[in-house]
């Protein structure tokens, strides 16, 4: 007689076992000769030693399926727990899917230019994604990072962005440093919450597998075996983005995202994103992907708003040039 306890802290037990323990009961039906008891985030299995060992192997295949796809079905349970295949889950992943988020949500490129970002990483280690708000730059970047982590292509994810949107003073905000910075990093947290179970995300943040930090914290570091994202890069200076890019270590992937129409730097400072995407675009191993209003995945009005501002900017530039020409005459 053998008893084994399986720790499920890293998983959403409610999603794993289903409403009213529907999936758990299906699991029990597949192993009628074992006593299977769920207590909180622990699963206790007892019975004949060979049967317990077989259950442990099969159940961990089921957990791998659940972790990859974010959900399981009764069919998955029976196929995996009763399959003659001893090594792999039956269901194979859709190659177009970047990651399966919480509740099985499918996350994939939604526009041609988002797909260009995905494709760019096949042949490049640094990718710039430049485009207006709502085009999915950050979300696609985080999905690529989570996929790389799940596939064990990297050991960790590092997400960073400038600490402030306009100016450099955080003193007026209440709380400690983390509390001051969290509002600026919220879009990164939001994307991660869509893609990872809550407890798994907490674990990754606590053990450093996922690190979210302001850009200033990158100075002096070497980032090895990591997928690193610099978000809101339009608000970096040329020196800051140079500092960031030169943190790159071995077997790392870097992605830089930003919107050059929303630069909050002082007027006398050139955006590091504008500068770097221009001077680095022809280097082998670096790709620059431009997104536009056709890639907007938010409310349809967002694309119309972006187009209106672009037309206004073009008109303003035209009027300015006409005034200059008139003065020169």
Could you tell me if 134 and 291 are in contact, meaning their C-beta atoms sit under 8 angstroms apart? no
Q: What is the pLDDT of residue 303?
A: 66
* Dist CA 107 CA 143 (whole Å): 7
Half-sphere exposure of 279 (CA within 13 A, CB side): 9
Geometric angle at alpha carbon 68, from 66 and 74, rounded to 5°: 30
User: For strand 210-214 and strand 286-290, is the pairing parallel, antiparallel, or unpaired?
Assistant: unpaired
Structure tokens at 201: 């995300």
At residue 194, φ and ψ (nearest 5 deg) are -75, -25
* Dist CA 107 CA 97 (whole Å): 6
Q: What is the pLDDT of residue 223?
A: 92
Q: What is the pLDDT of residue 174?
A: 61
Q: What is the pLDDT of residue 168?
A: 43
Q: What is the pLDDT of residue 153?
A: 92
Q: What is the pLDDT of residue 18?
A: 84
Q: What is the pLDDT of residue 309?
A: 77
Per-residue pLDDT of the chain (329 residues; tens, 9 = 90+): 788 999 887 777 888 888 888 888 999 999 989 999 998 888 999 999 998 898 898 888 888 878 767 778 888 888 888 766 555 544 555 557 788 777 667 888 888 889 999 999 999 999 999 998 888 899 999 999 999 998 889 999 999 988 654 444 555 556 665 666 677 778 888 899 989 888 888 889 999 999 988 888 888 899 999 999 999 999 999 999 999 999 999 889 999 999 988 888 888 888 999 999 889 989 999 999 998 877 776 666 766 776 787 777 666 654 455 445 545 55
Query: What is the number of other CB atoms lying within 10 angstroms of the CB of residue 90?
Result: 13
* Dist CA 23 CA 8 (whole Å): 15
Q: What is the pLDDT of residue 100?
A: 76
């Amino acid at each position: 007689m053998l008893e084994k306890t399986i720790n499920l802290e890293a998983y959403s037990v409610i999603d794993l076992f289903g409403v009213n323990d529907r999936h758990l009961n299906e699991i029990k039906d597949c192993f009628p000769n074992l006593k299977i008891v769920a207590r909180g985030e622990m699963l206790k299995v007892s019975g004949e030693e060979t049967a317990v060992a077989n259950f442990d192997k099969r159940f961990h295949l089921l957990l791998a399926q659940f972790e990859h796809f974010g959900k399981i079905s009764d069919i998955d349970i029976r196929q995996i727990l009763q399959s003659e295949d001893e090594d792999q889950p039956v269901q194979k992943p859709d190659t177009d899917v970047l990651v399966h988020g919480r509740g099985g949500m499918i996350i994939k490129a939604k526009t041609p230019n988002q797909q260009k970002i995905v494709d760019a990483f096949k042949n490049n280690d640094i990718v710039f994604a430049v485009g207006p708000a709502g085009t999915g730059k950050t979300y696609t970047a985080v999905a690529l990072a989570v996929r790389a982590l799940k596939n064990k292509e990297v050991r960790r994810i590092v997400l960073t962005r400038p600490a402030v949107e306009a100016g450099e003073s955080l003193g007026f905000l209440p709380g400690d440093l983390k509390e001051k910075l969290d509002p600026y990093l919220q879009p990164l947290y939001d994307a991660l919450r869509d893609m990872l179970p809550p407890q798994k995300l907490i674990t990754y943040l606590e053990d450093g597998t996922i690190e979210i930090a302001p850009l200033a914290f990158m100075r002096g570091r070497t980032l090895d075996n990591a997928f690193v994202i610099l978000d809101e890069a339009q608000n970096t200076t040329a020196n800051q983005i140079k500092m960031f890019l030169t943190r790159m270590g071995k077997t790392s992937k870097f992605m830089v995202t930003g919107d050059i129409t929303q630069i909050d730097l002082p007027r006398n400072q050139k955006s590091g994103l504008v500068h770097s995407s221009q001077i680095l675009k022809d280097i082998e191993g670096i790709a620059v992907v431009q997104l536009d209003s056709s890639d907007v995945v938010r409310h349809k009005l967002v694309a119309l708003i972006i187009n209106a501002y672009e037309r206004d900017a073009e008109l303003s530039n035209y009027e300015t040039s006409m005034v200059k020409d008139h003065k020169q005459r």
